[in-house]
A and B are shown apart, each in its own frame.
Chain A
Amino acid sequence: MQRIRLRYTKRGRLRFTSHRDFQRAFERALRRSAVPMAYSAGFTPHPKVSYANAAPTGVASEAEYLEIGLAAVRDPEQLRAQLDESLPNGLDVIDAVEVRTPNFVERLEASEWLVRLDGVEPDEAAGAVARFLAEERVEVERVTKNGVRVFDARGAVAALDVLPPQVDGGADTEAGTDRDVRTGRPCAILRLVVRHATPAVRPDDVLSGLRATADLAPPVPAEVTRLAQGPLDEGTGTVTDPLALDRAAAPAGSEPDAGPRATAPA
């Protein structure tokens, strides 16, 4: 059985897709594009797909990952293009590698998030970020199915900073102002790197932390996008490509269906 790891996105209005919704849409896309899926054994066979670490409903993402098992060998890039074509715009498959290394999920050590706070002055955000980072622990509450849970939102944060004023859709903000070009209102953009820990710390937990330490209260809900997830470079506070190891492990020229990826230099 050939196994392929795929990176996909949830963009624009399709960020409101829940993970269950995505699973159904993806399995139908597999059928429409006639991918030769491997099926689980048993009374109701299911196509072999495993998902890692899905972003919450309403959060956009540039870096979701899943793995599929195939009953016949396919070129990863062709398969990627085929699946991308079969999925609605916004759910885009943007990378594919053949699986050559184990423990993929363990490799997803951290996520990088972009948090857009409409109606918040960047200076105010910067002040709040500084106060948050100065703390060792920031206790926040989250309402779960089992009631309210209190946990630390600070420890998992590997990096948090305020980006320079937003550049949206290629158009610059007016020079020298912090106004957003779309709305004409102030807008602060945070870049946030969070380690995947237990209990999981999500961007809204960090926002709760900013409210708790510095009274930062955005007037409208934050727009959150996951930019990356993968191994964490602690030195620079950046998240690197989790598919790099599989690409690097490709034996040069030894592939039956040698696609562009398969022959990439190690």
Chain B
Amino acid sequence: MTVESVFPRLEALLPHVQKPIQYVGGELNSTVKDWDACDVRWALMYPDAYEVGLPNQGVMILYEVLNEREGVLAERTYSVWPDLEALMREHKVPQFTVDAHRPVKAFDVFGLSFSTELGYTNMLTALDLAGIPLESKDRTDEDPIVLAGGHAAFNPEPIADFLDAAVVGDGEQAVLDMTEIIRAWKAEGRPGGRDEVLLRLARTGGFYVPKFYDVEYLADGRIGRVVPNAPGVPWRVSKHTVMDLDEWPYPKQPLVPLAETVHERMSVEIFRGCTRGCRFCQAGMITRPVRERSITGIGEMVERGLKATGFEEVGLLSLSSADHTEIGDIAKGLADRYTEDKIGLSLPSTRVDAFNIDLANELSRNGRRSGLTFAPEGGSERMRKVINKMVSEEDLIRTVATAYGNGWRQVKLYFMCGLPTETDEDVLQIGEMAKNVIQKGREVTGQNDIRCTVSIGGFVPKPHTPFQWAPQLSAEATDARLAKLRDSIRGDRKYGKNIGYRYHDGKPGIIEGLLSRGDRRVGAVIRAVYEDGGRFDGWREYFSYDRWIACAEKGLAGTGVDVDWYTTRERTYEEVLPWDHLDSGLDKDWLWEDWQDALEEVEVDDCRWTPCFDCGVCPQMDTHIQIGPTGKKMLPLTVVNK
């Protein structure tokens, strides 16, 4: 049955909304496939505004992987801003895809990618606009399978009531596996309805179906155990890991929007995973092991992508890009190749200790020399030992000295506040580090006009990290500490004027903490916030702490637990954590030891360069580290039309 486009009805609303171009689709390299010629159809959502969601690599990759398949179709949908939401409700226009403006409810799968927990209320808005019941238990065979992926899906429990399934880990192969299961079930005439296909997914051990697991609670509010309640459903669900990134050179044809978006560049993921072992970093823990894309594979992706998009900047993405074994040759190769085309290179995540000036010079050769950005994360040496970010202040000062000597004038430093065991003194050290950076800059350049910006975020303990047991610092204590730092920086006569100070207050972090380490009982809070009008919680102008707190009181009433219990409470070794049945490969005992090491300020090395220290991922997931060097070179290209 062909599904009708809602565009004619949407079009009449567009003259009344801000930035209507974000809703019309038609992006370069987008795909509209014949509905009737496909038997498995995916609606992919990044649950934030188009300008943030469109550049998302995860969605772009899956969109292309699925659309390349015969008989499979994928379209994209994003959160609509409240101005359009109100008009859609008034005129009964459902949540639509931007590709062919088909109603989301008509698809087989409604897949959402959660980079952050702050998109949960937007999921509920989209479900409701789509005409899909908010809770899994109320859905029928007429509704799509609502699926969550992305980093936040490593603890899907707070949204378990709203999901039919979740997938943890790399999505490329997983979406294809799921497609085949759905296709077979549909071809058989959908035996057993919705429950049957969910059961088939759950039994693979690679898809988490919350309804097939019962959570039992202890009298004190902690979880007793999580038990499968259907035959053949495994106790734990494994994450997916894609090996050999060169076999997955996506996106091949990146989407180029007409509307302005947050990242407009040709992004290539140069490796996946990170084993530096920073203890606060969920991404580094859940994406192990390190798998590098080869220098030649990167060269091909960049060339094809630039031709397909016309972007003027290449972003070399990963969790710590300067750690690629051949990063120097990659940067030089690309800078050589695109000198005449004025293509800029960017390396979004660079460690101080992996940085060198040759690399920096290659990066800035074809254009802008923006400021340098580093993330020491902790202000004091002691703090950096606790978090296992093994960067010394000496390293940093040496690096910035070279940078200033080579013409840079601006350094930006990222830190966190509220780390385990942190004291006021640790945070005040951030200011001292900034002063030392400026002092060194003045020395090297002989100029007074040197700037250093410090940017501080509140630390939120995350599941599947050694800090998953840690107490989160309260919003009040975070704010008080940040105020002390601000006063110490502003009050400094010699350097104060040259230090930029950016920070966020502690309140949003508490809500993020609630959603990160929450369990199924938090679902009622999310729903209450949504029903009270909560939207776009990642946007300061929409986020309301007071609303969240009020709704938490209501939603958690009678459970014996509250926001503090989820956030500022320290967990013990014995406690069953809400995400324990989702297997990231990390051995829980190893995580505990690493947590104890943190408290004793003991550091752990990177297993790329030292023997394995038994985090558990490789044997558990049957994976291994894949790194170079390959020894190959990136070949220059003969440029057409020259």
Asked whether A21 lies within 8 Å of B16 as measured between CB atoms, the reply is no
Asked whether A32 lies within 8 Å of B309 as measured between CB atoms, the reply is yes
Determine the distance from Cα of A21 to Cα of B311 in the docked complex, in whole angstroms.
Answer: 14
Among B11, B15, B25, B310, the residue within 8 A (CB) of A29 is B310
B54 to chain A, nearest CB (A): 13
**Interface residue ranges of A28-86 to B (CB < 8 Å):** 28-32, 34, 36, 39, 44-45, 57-58, 86
Query: Is B11 within 8 A of A58, CB to CB?
Result: no
Q: Is A21's CB under 8 angstroms from B20's CB?
A: no
CA distance A220 to B19 in the complex (A): 19
When distances are taken between beta carbons in the complex, the residues of chain B under 8 Å from A39 are 342
Q: Which of A11-19, A99-107, A149-157, A255-263 contacts B (4 or more CB under 8 A)?
A: A11-19
B26: interface (CB < 8 Å): yes
Contact at B641–A36, with CB atoms within 8 Å?
Answer: yes
How would residues 199 to 227 of chain A score, 1 for a CB under 8 Å from any chain B CB and 0 otherwise? 00000000000000000000011000000
Is B602 interfacial (CB 8 A cutoff)?
no
Shortest beta-carbon distance, A221 to chain B, in Å? 4
B21 within 8 Å of A by Cβ? yes
Distance in Å: Cβ of B114 to nearest Cβ of chain A: 28
Q: Is B260's beta carbon under 8 Å from chain A?
A: yes
Instruction: Check B14 against A34 for contact (C-beta < 8 Å).
Output: no
**What residues of chain A lie closer than 8 Å to B19, measured between beta carbons?**
18
Say yes or no: A58 contacts B14, CB within 8 Å.
yes
Enumerate chain A residues within 8 angstroms of B15, measured Cβ to Cβ.
58, 221
Instruction: Type the 1/0 row for A226-240, where 1 means its CB is closer than 8 Å to any CB of B.
Output: 000000000000000
CB-contact partner of A34 in B28, B259, B640, under 8 A: B640
Least CB distance from A40 to B in Å reads 12
B11 proximity list for chain A (CB < 8 A): 13
Q: Which of B307, B309, B641 has the most CB of A within 10 A?
A: B641
- Separation of A25 and B25 alpha carbons in the complex (Å): 14
Q: Which residue of B lies closest to A22 (CB)?
A: B258
Number of A residues near B (Cβ < 8 Å) is 29
Quick check: is B12 within 8 A (CB to CB) of the other chain? yes
A11 to chain B, nearest CB (A): 11
Residue in A18, A31, A86, A89 whose CB lies within 8 Å of B21: A18
Q: Which residues of B contact A20 (CB under 8 A)?
A: 260
Q: Does A13 lie within 8 Å of B12, measured CB to CB?
A: no
Determine if B310 and A13 form an interchain contact, defined as CB atoms under 8 angstroms apart: no
Q: Decide if A21 touches B309 in the complex (CB within 8 Å).
A: no
Complex formed: what's the CA distance from A58 to B12 in Å? 11
Q: Of A21, A27, A220, which one neighbours B12 at CB under 8 angstroms? A: A220
CA separation between A13 and B8, bound complex, in Å?
10
Q: Is B180 an interface residue (CB 8 A)?
A: no
Measured between beta carbons, the chain A residues less than 8 angstroms from B312 are 28, 31
Residues of A close to B26: CB separation below 8 A: 13-14, 88-90
Interfacial residues, chain B to chain A (CB-CB below 8 A): 7, 11-12, 14-16, 19-21, 23-28, 256, 258-260, 264, 306-312, 341-342, 367-368, 640-641
Report which A residues bind B (CB closer than 8 A).
13-14, 16-18, 20-22, 24-25, 27-32, 34, 36, 39, 44-45, 57-58, 86, 88-90, 220-221
